[in-house]
Amino acid sequence: MGNQYNTLLNKIHQLHDLEKAAQLLVWDREVNMPPMGAAGRTQQISTLQQMIHSMGTSDEMGALIEQAADEVQSEGHPYDSVEASLIRFVTRGYAEGKKFPAEHIARITEVSGAAMPVWAKARQENDFPSFAPYLDQVIELSQEQAEILGYEDEKYDALINQYERGVKTADVRQVFDTVKAQTVPLIQEIQEKGDVIDDTFLHQEYSVATQQKIAPYFAEAVGYDFQRGHIGTATHPFAINFSRDDARITTRWNKQFLNPFLFGTMHECGHAMYEQGTGEDLARTPLARGTSMGVHESQSRMFENLVGRSYGFWQAHYHKLKEAFPSQLGDISLDQFYKAINKVQPSFIRVEADELTYNMHIILRFELEQEMLNGKITAAQLPEAWNNKMETMLGIVPENDSNGCLQDIHWTRPSFGYFPTYALGNLYASQLLDTATQQNPAINDELANGQVTALHQWLGEHIHKSGSKYDPAELISRATGNTLDPQPFIQYTTKKFSAIYELYS
């Protein structure tokens, strides 16, 4: 490689290392830091973020990128080379970083800083009107953000592209409409069967010490590598990485409910294994990272749901759970357990939703964000709009806003466009598994025996190793030969829940 590219690469490595240090300040805050350490830590994070921002948007960086881009082009590196991909990535990132006026960023900090405590209090006291003026400001900032970022067709495109590069709102809308049209009747059909699945045994005393002892077993069962990983404890679980060889997760331990640690661990492992799988040739560059929130979520959902809630997985591993909790699960058969962890139940809270109803929570938010962004509803009109959609999609209406439109922290800051990536993840996951098993039927045989080696091989090759070289739509198309397709998810859920609920057609 030429000099210009190497000079840029050096700078990118430095910036990368500084970003990882900043991320470690965050990880440590959530996992180890004593309560009083918060004030000093906030300053440290802020200092590093300022350094990162100023390095990343400096004129020097701009010039380095331009010179290296010329060199890479003149040397004729192919489109999918690391060199060409990195230049594409940093050119776009630099331009976007320069777009936001300092004044806009300062206002975001100010508005969300003020909105957060008001929202927390409003949720606690079920007082939406006190939060409404702040939400109006968030809506306004989101509208400005869309104008700053720019868009061709719809405002919302600009926002969703921050999390899912290159995706069009119109395409997402069409796909979500299809999912909704197929899922709503399925949920209704299940509802009509009545409360036929008993999952009360999942809600009893489960020793936290035992959970912590067996969590590594289930992490390894889905393919997580502890030589390159680590489990910490945090209130809100997340995955984070400091290199492909140090991709960690956090888990929470609920002593009254078995699911959070079990499926939370497998979910976060899915995220972390994506990072563990990025190519060595991408190390210390921004390409060494999952390409989008949606594709990332496809990996977490793959291992939490498609693998972790499958019959084959528990056929192989249920004995381990029974050994750990003999008095709680000793009398529970594999079939009882499998049905309980897959129970479908329309409910108010997104983060507690089951695999089938979850997308409805997202589609609802996706629709409402657009209405707010496009000025169709104001903050004050949100509760009514929310409740109407809940009734249409899930057949239930929350008794108060705390269990309705006040439940998520997301709208205390301008993060419109983020929510849909959760549902995109579910759809990508099924689409990827569908292609993978078509290309290699051994994957299915393995999954039926609780094994994941062949699946990991396929994901590593078609998703993980390219990191952020390709935009999400491009990556999905390279991997599956198709655009985003909701049919695999629809087929998977229809088949799975028809069997569980004995929905004879």
Q: Where do contacts with a second copy occur on this chain (CB under 8 A)?
A: 13-14, 17-18, 20-22, 24-25, 27-28, 31-37, 39-41, 43-44, 47-48, 51, 226-230, 232, 242-246, 248, 283-284
For a second copy, the closer of residues 73 and 226 by Cβ is: 226
Spatial separation of the C-alpha atoms in residues 240 and 274, rounded to whole Å = 11
Residue 269: both structure tokens together: 């492992």
Least Cα distance to 351 among 403, 424, 280, 429 occurs for 403
Spatial separation of the C-alpha atoms in residues 242 and 275, rounded to whole Å = 9
DSSP secondary structure letter of residue 303:
I
Spatial separation of the C-alpha atoms in residues 292 and 472, rounded to whole Å = 6
Q: How far is the CB of 4 from a second copy (least distance, A)?
A: 21
For a second copy, the closer of residues 36 and 102 by Cβ is: 36
Q: How far is the CB of 249 from a second copy (least distance, A)?
A: 11
* Annotation marks residue 280 as catalytic: no
For a second copy, the closer of residues 23 and 381 by Cβ is: 23
Q: Is 389 in contact with 364 (CB distance < 8 Å)?
A: yes
Q: How far is the CB of 63 from a second copy (least distance, A)?
A: 20
- Residue for token pair 């890479």: 72
Question: Dihedral through CA 183, CA 186, CA 187, CA 189, nearest 10?
Answer: 160
Q: How far is CA 225 from the centre of its chain?
A: 21
- Strand ranges for 57-104 from DSSP E: none
Residue 24 CA: distances (Å) to CA of 227, 275, 290: 18, 16, 18
Q: How far is the CB of 38 from a second copy (least distance, A)?
A: 8
Q: How far is the CB of 503 from a second copy (least distance, A)?
A: 45
For a second copy, the closer of residues 121 and 213 by Cβ is: 213
Of the residues 83, 268, 367, 446, which is catalytic? 268
For a second copy, the closer of residues 42 and 124 by Cβ is: 42
- Residue for token pair 């509803």: 377
Least Cα distance to 169 among 138, 177, 467, 463 occurs for 177
Spatial separation of the C-alpha atoms in residues 140 and 405, rounded to whole Å = 18
Q: How far is the CB of 227 from a second copy (least distance, A)?
A: 5
173 three-state secondary structure? helix
For a second copy, the closer of residues 50 and 188 by Cβ is: 50
374 three-state secondary structure? coil
What are the catalytic residues? Answer: 268
